[in-house]
Amino acid sequence: MTKKELKKRLFAYKSNKAKLKSNQLKLEGLTYKITPSYSGMPTGSDINNKNENYIIKKEELEHNIKKLEFEIRDIDIALDSLAAKDLEHITLRYLEDYKPVEVSNLMHISESSFWRDDNRILKSMIDIMKI
């Protein structure tokens, strides 16, 4: 993984958490729409067709949920490994979307220190995510 790819994943982290919650709620609601079918029932209705559509949608949601869970868990593991100061840096810059100069001011460091720290932290996160 490159730094550019990691940055993209970090910027998407909060949105992915919201998408995960939304997909989980949609899946929960969809489960109640699937009508049980019994063998020997008349086949003149479109219940089976509706059920098929619901089941396809359910499988798509389950797939998306697994994908988002993996993405979030991967980032969570890397974030958990950071020292408090490094976590603050990443949170402000990538999760809260502050500009580099704003992060520098909030953390009381120079902009050159910000960039040096940014590169070091991202590299350490990439190393952890490789495992």
- Distance, in Å, from the CA atom of 22 to the CA atom of 15, rounded to the nearest integer, reads 10
Residues 6+ apart with CB under 8 A from 66: none
Neighbours of 90 (CB within 10 A): 23
From the number of C-beta atoms within 10 Å of its C-beta (0-12, 13-18, 19+), residue 125 rates as: buried
| C-alpha distance across the termini of the chain, in Å | 12
Q: What is the pLDDT of residue 130?
A: 86
**For each of the chain's 131 residues, which pLDDT tens digit applies?**
899 999 999 999 999 999 999 999 998 887 766 655 555 555 555 556 777 788 888 899 999 999 999 999 999 999 999 999 999 999 999 999 999 999 999 999 999 999 999 999 999 999 999 86
Single pTM value for the model: 0.77
CATH number, position 100: 1.10.10
List CB contacts of 130: < 8 A, sequence separation 6 or more: 1
Interatomic CA distance for residues 24 and 66, integer angstroms: 10
Token pair of 79, please? 């974030």
- Structural domain range at position 31: 3-130
As for how many domains the chain has, the answer is 1
